[in-house]
Structure 1
């Protein structure tokens, strides 16, 4: 009995702690990049119940009232702390079909454009965030427009004639492969480009792996032609990917 009584006294204290544990402390800044950076690390966010965006059930109950989950979702979308991440996720899902750039990419592009117009180099974090949030071809289009603006700004205002480092080109190529914008990815492999990108064979490997994943031998040929024209040195790993595609597609010519 004493053990039961002691457990009963501790139980309310445990319940009092639960809301605190489930509330992540977010930044109150309206800046999308700062809001993303302030989110909890992986494993610290409470696991939500599974939810399918293809759920065909109506958002109202049989008596005409909104479902509780619908009310909670609307509150979440309009919450000042969570809206950047939520809007970014839902816009990336919807805009893949509508052919429009995602909302967070548009916001970052506009912020960076205003910074360039004010003759101020945008923070590097904005560019990295823009690259990591690209989800479709329209996003990649804005990314390449911004890269061209930044290159012109570096030439005219900072007198920097060198291209961006090769790590940036690798991240851009990775984003192109992820978003399926392969024509832009091929542009990133051009040695003399207007975007200030420094192509490497590592950048090409992201595109070749995309071709391998989709068994696209024609894309592989296009990539190899660009590599040859731009005299990019190949690696043993390049041959591994190429022969894998030939084997999977049975196209040895």
Structure 2
């Protein structure tokens, strides 16, 4: 049986069809993070979910999800539900896919696809769609794609943003379309990154960002999905990801 809320969100016309057979992986009621079975789910990815995660997506004629190997991600609008830790003073909801930790000095190319429904709104708090995360040293984010205050923007925690600001677009330029994300990264203290987001249908470049310098230390991963602070007044989050590939250079 299809999940009613997800079906309604992705089927905005009467011509709704299954993009693939669907299997529910998590139902969002555990009150903690549930992890997938090792780095095997999407080629070389591990998943983590406190929300509702489906293997398989639904879409519509009006807003097709052009992702062949597709996972549907749903987070509740209720800030007391789908939490990764029910007892935390900083309640958070998370469904993310991540690569294995990469060593300093190694170079990788990644590509994946992402779809965010326009029923998903933003707040003034963090809502991560992608991040390079390092575990070495004090750990933490390096580069982030964040949706907040009606925009989707790059954040560079290590270098900060130039005076003109980091690249950003309006949220409605990102939603209701499949986007293709391409990244080439060298990890480590003397690293580099080139990251591009394009509209999959038109090949129009929506965002691009390049940087050199520190790209994590010891063990660093790419992760993408939906991860946000749970606050009153937020909307449901409905997204789809997939078609991931990676190559060690």
TM bucket (normalised to shorter chain) is under 0.3
Larger helix fraction of residues:
1
If the length of structure 1 is used for normalisation, what is the TM-score? 0.26
The structure richer in strand per residue is 2
TM-score, reference length from structure 2 = 0.27
Bigger relative CO (Cα 8 Å, ≥ 6 apart):
2
